[in-house]
Chains A and B, each alone.
Chain A
């Protein structure tokens, strides 16, 4: 897979000079810094940042990823006309986008946290960064799946936004609806299943379990925490997020392998 590494290298040097990626990192830098200055103590900062992370990271990853993939189409064709295998190219392109996006976010949050924070802040910030990085990988693979399957850029973007909207917005309403409609039934298993189906909610559960505030926010978080107990719950949520990264990636790769350009 040395071709994948070469593609990864070019993609990194291309994107690390991209103003959108730099701006994205700066956004987190200023936001985190401002929250530390004006937002009260460490745990509060983590909780405020969590809400931004859960909305903004999926949105930016999925939109930027879809546009990046479709804008690279001509160059992808040129690269495929070289002695490069399709899986190597796809893998290189994927990590070439996901890594800079994840790094921009991670550095943007970690630098101010290191400057302001005490020792007690390590765990929440580390969890926040981990959750954000996982969400970046999940939604970048959704974006690549959209890019592979929709020739038309507008359709791909539409699909990507739809996935984001379902996960970040529609889902909470759906949970409420299910919870009120079936309140006379044992809901825990169903809600657990619904959580696993939504990477954004998984990340939320992961964060709430480590911030030890599971009971405070969200019905599914409370259920998840109670059901698994903390350590197992965290492992389960993280594993489910990895599956969420792998499945769209593999579907995208399969489509990319079979595609006629």
Chain B
């Protein structure tokens, strides 16, 4: 079977600024791929292109073997957790979850175990979203992303703002999803987290992929054992 998500030759320009200059990335099933790069490297634009939020100028994106176009149907196969979500102020957590399940169609997912493992109680979810803390909203986003058991998961800084306990639960959940065959794309500024979670690392600079391979290949290539140092090595190499 081919990779669940294949990005090839992706280009995007905003005005005169070239953000993506021919990006090729493939996510394999059952693996966590970390997308790493300095600020303004094009990480967000790449993720937004996959989600259909940004229309690329050239190149293709295929999800489960189908090249994506205007039809939004393919997004059924993607679970997405945004970096900092904001929800309609006056809705309760339950209502937000119900709306998002409804928009996906099909049966309402059985996510009670998931809610519990992230520490979202029925009491919390009955409150209006505006009264929830940033971390609690982040947990809500995690439930929305994970509960459909989508074959492709895109997690943008998933643990930012979470307490250590929830953060470790979430990482455990991500590992579980990968183990059951999901292809996971993850961005993070915490290299320890990348080291802990990722199988593969894609290093993006100025809209180009400068390194793509397993963490072991990265260590071999840079001669550094720690991922953080290896990345620093790559950054110097490119500069």
- Residue numbers of A with Cβ under 8 A of B are 3, 6-7, 9-11, 13-15, 17-18, 71-72, 74-75, 77-86, 258, 260-261
Contact = CB atoms under 8 A, between A and B. Distances in A.
Contacts of B86: 71, 74-75
A71 B95 CA distance: 19
Nearest to A96: B88
Given A81-B52, A83-B104, A260-B54, A75 B88 contact: yes
Contacts, number: 81
Interface of B: 12, 14, 48, 51-55, 70, 72-76, 78, 80, 82, 84-91, 95, 99-100, 102-105, 128, 141, 144
B53 A261 contact: yes
Contacts of A260: 12, 14, 48, 53-55
Contact of A85 (B14, B72, B102, B104): B72
Given A6-B102, A77-B82, A78-B85, A258 B95 contact: no
B4 to A, nearest CB: 16
DSSP majority for the A interface?
A: helix
A69 to B, nearest CB: 13
B190 to A, nearest CB: 22
A78 B138 CA distance: 13
Nearest to A72: B88
11 contacts: A6-B103, A7-B103, A9-B99, A11-B88, A78-B141, A81-B52, A81-B78, A84-B72, A84-B103, A85-B72, A258-B55
Contacts of A9: 99
Contacts of A71: 86
Given A10-B91, A17-B90, A79 B103 contact: yes
A3 B76 CA distance: 14
Contact of A14 (B51, B74, B75, B88): B88
